[in-house]
Amino acid sequence: MPYQRIYLDESVLDAARARVRWVYREFPHVYVSISGGKDSTVILNLALDAAAELGRLPVPVLFLDQEAEWQHVIDHIRAVMADPRVSPRWLQVPFRLFNATSTSEPWLHCWEPGAQWIRPKEPGALTRNVYGTDRFKQMFAAFTRYHHPAAPVATLVGTRAEESPARGLALTTSETYRGVTWGITHDRARQHFAFCPIYDWTMSDVWKAIHDHGWPYTKLYDLMYQYGVPLKDMRVSNVHHETATRHLTYLQEIEPETWDTITRRIGGLQTVGQMREDFYGPRTLPPMFADWREYRDYLLAHLVTDPAMRAAFAHHFALHAKHYANDDDATRVELWKFEVQAILVNDFEGTKYRSFTVRHMTEDYRQRRDARRRAKGQATATTAETV
């Protein structure tokens, strides 16, 4: 079941401030992990206020630089790191990131030695990868484990439940630390955790707090707004992620110099920029295919050239088919369309599918599905069939 909001007399801002103070009182080492986006802007400023109140300044601020970043974001990060209340930890270490724009070049090897980087490294940045991993998600836990092998550490992050059903479930259903669910366990034995004090905030809460307090934020959001990008679709992280590739259609207009340097560095971006919405495939089934499953299989056989990646896709698709074997035709068609999209954005790790699965576990979806079945005279499935 998805989480449900319970409204209290306390504002989300007051609740978040109390949570941040609690984290500072519980842990001797507290980091703030930022991306340059609106949510981490809120977390940073809440932490700065709490640290000043509790005598814990300067605040160690961690930024894992993904190299293929918007220049407006980098300009904002530079301003943050220059704040005397901040102790900067700017990571520009070699690691690899998934590239959703190309099946022939599925990875960007960020800060690869000997490569022509998108921009120079920052003075004072941490540039040696001593952390034992080359993946983005594992880097944060590895960072605290390396620098604090024997001390408890908390990292404050801006993750919110509203952003996806999967995050909503993860942040509300199981204990992370001392009765708190709004956290992520990095290393329980070492007492290393990440906490999400604004997990229950809406996007409106985020922008209201920024506006009311005059907190500095990246002006990329203003440019996106002027361009007509819906608020819910604004993403300011790396430009080649599977959830960010649509921004490439106007990166070349908002930041033409960034576009020139990034397209020389990463394969596939030019294609997305030129094809725009057509890159994501047709909205209706191409007439030469009998159904979306046949179209999916054709793309898998002819577009995915790497055998290991093709095998990964096929493995995921087989699991999907088994999981939805007892579901109705409409759901299976929706699933095949989703898998077509996964191939086109090279999502062989299944990031998008996890959100698809959680969405189809909700009570609202089950009710709509069962209504379709009743209309066709089919028996409705039990909850256990879809979980």
CB 41 within 8 A of CB 210: yes
Torsion over CA: 199, 346, 235, 23 (sign): positive
CA distances from 63 to 40, 91, 163, 167 (A): 10, 6, 21, 21
Angstrom distance (rounded) from CA 199 to CA 219:
24
Per-residue pLDDT of the chain (387 residues; tens, 9 = 90+): 455 677 788 999 999 999 999 999 999 999 999 999 999 999 999 999 999 999 999 999 999 999 999 999 999 999 999 999 999 999 999 999 877 776 667 788 999 999 999 999 999 999 999 999 999 999 999 999 999 999 999 999 999 988 876 777 788 889 999 999 999 999 999 999 999 999 999 999 999 999 999 999 999 999 999 988 888 888 888 776 656 566 677 787 888 898 888 888 876 665 555 545 544 567 788 899 999 999 999 999 988 888 888 898 898 889 888 888 888 888 888 888 888 888 877 777 666 666 666 566 555 555 665 676 677 665 544 433 332
What architecture (CATH level 2) is domain 12-203?
Answer: 3-Layer(aba) Sandwich (3.40)
User: What are the extents of the domains in the chain?
Assistant: 12-203, 292-386
Angstrom distance (rounded) from CA 67 to CA 238:
8
DSSP state letters, 129-174: --SS--BHHHHHHHHHHHH-TTS-EEEE----GGG-HHHHHHTTSS
CB 385 within 8 A of CB 193: no
117 burial level (CB within 10 Å; 0-12, 13-18, 19+): middle
CA distances from 373 to 118, 263, 330 (A): 53, 48, 10
